[in-house]
Amino acid sequence: MLSRVADSIYWLNRYIERAENVARFVEVNLNLLMDNPVGVAQQWEPLIAVTGDRDVFFQRYDRATAERVLDFLTFDQKSPNSILSCVRAARENARSVRETISSEMWEQVNAFYLQVEEAAQAKDSRDSYAFYSEVKMASHRFAGVMDATLSWNESWQFGQLGRMLERADKTARILDVKYFLLLPSAQEVGTPIDNLQWIALLKSASAYEMYRKTEQIISPAGVAKFLILDAQFPRSIKFCLKWAEDALRQIAGVSASSSPLSSQRALGRLRAELEYITLDEIFQGGLHQFLDDFQLRLNTVGDCIYADFIALPTEATEKTAGKASNRVASKAATNKAASKTTNKTTKEVAGSPIALGAQRQS
């Protein structure tokens, strides 16, 4: 398939999944606020921190208030990761590959877009918590329609790859919210209010019910184990990487002789580590540090996928090195492609406590 088309389908799925997860971020906080005892200060800054938008946000605002943060994450068209921006970008990508995806998929994306645009016009996000559930459902519908109407061919695998990588990244960030949430005092660790925060967090990953069935007792270790290492929960990091790896293998094609591509190596190594790492090891280095490193390495996987399949081969490399070099793009070709599709990867900013893993496409 065309590299450009693969790229668009990959990003179409990432953006839909991203919109869904931003809705989840917002929900976790809304849940928490409603459960907080009266008198406990509202915390909105953690949300901005965890989506990786702190710099962008504080360039415009001095303080994170409920209203500003909700607008910033939901309907702000200047905010690159707002739900509105994500859905618009998803639709632009879908529009450029309409002839490849099924009509049903296009209609679903278009309906999602119209729904969010309409809500943005109405602009009563603060009162319409229901909106965030609708966003989640629209994303589920898209995934379902794609599975049921698109052949499970290379296009589908690229979509799957994008969705799973995005979901793994966002589950890590949802788990990281807790790191930024302050308890009223250090003595509160393990108290009902601490537990409430963990429950809210599970709920925002649609993980609460499934968690209760496997881990039962709410504990930091239990939640981390479930969201990172569970093999069966479809939003756990390990699960997502397993699916992403499968998709990548299908795309690359299996042959005994050929050596794995750089993206396969990067993703395979990351997945293998999750296979064997223990919870103790994660907590020894600190959960936040673990999640931070994970997000960075996941970005590298994304970069490798771009280099392996999307970056345009030049005529020169094509002629001199023959077929094997198709996937090795010259610097110039990569830059050209990057400036055209504007897939940008923002790496960690020095001194910043978290990875700015926001990959975006205008």
Q: Which residues bind other proteins (CB under 8 A)?
A: 1-4, 6, 92, 95-96, 98-100, 103, 106-107, 110-111, 154, 158, 251, 253, 309-310, 312-313, 315, 318-319, 323, 326-327, 340
CB of 196 to other proteins, least distance (A): 42
Cβ-based nearer residue to other proteins, 145 or 177: 145
199 in Cβ contact with 208 (< 8 Å): yes
Q: What separation in angstroms does the CA of 130 have from each of 30, 124, 126, 147?
A: 11, 11, 10, 26
Least separation in angstroms between CB 130 and other proteins? 23
Which one, 7 or 71, has the nearer CB to other proteins? 7
- Smallest gap from Cβ 316 to other proteins, in A, equals 10
Least separation in angstroms between residue 16's CB and other proteins is: 17
Q: How far is the CB of 51 from other proteins (least distance, A)?
A: 24
- Closer by beta carbon to other proteins, 95 or else 288: 95
Residues 6 or more apart whose CB falls under 8 angstroms from that of 300 comprise: 266
First to last CA, the chain: 23
Distance CA 150, CA 262 (A): 28
Are the C-beta atoms of 245 and 179 separated by less than 8 Å?
Answer: no
The residue (of 150 and 221) whose beta carbon lies closer to other proteins is: 150
Q: Which residue has the tokens 């700015």?
A: 356
Helices 130-149/3-35 angle, 10° precision: 150
Name which of 265 and 340 has its Cβ closer to other proteins: 340
Least distance to other proteins from the beta carbon of 296, Å? 25
Instruction: Give the integer Cα–Cα distance in Å for 156 and 60.
Output: 39
Tokens representing 130? 């229901």
Between the alpha carbon of residue 202 and those of residues 32, 138, 183, 222, the distances in Å are: 11, 20, 18, 11
253 has which bridge partners?
A: none
CA 338 to centroid of chain Cα atoms: 20
* Smaller CB separation from other proteins, 102 or 345: 102
> Least distance (Å) from other proteins to the CB of residue 260?
16
How far is 271 from 284, CA to CA, in rounded Å? 20
Nearer to other proteins, 88 or 238 (CB): 88
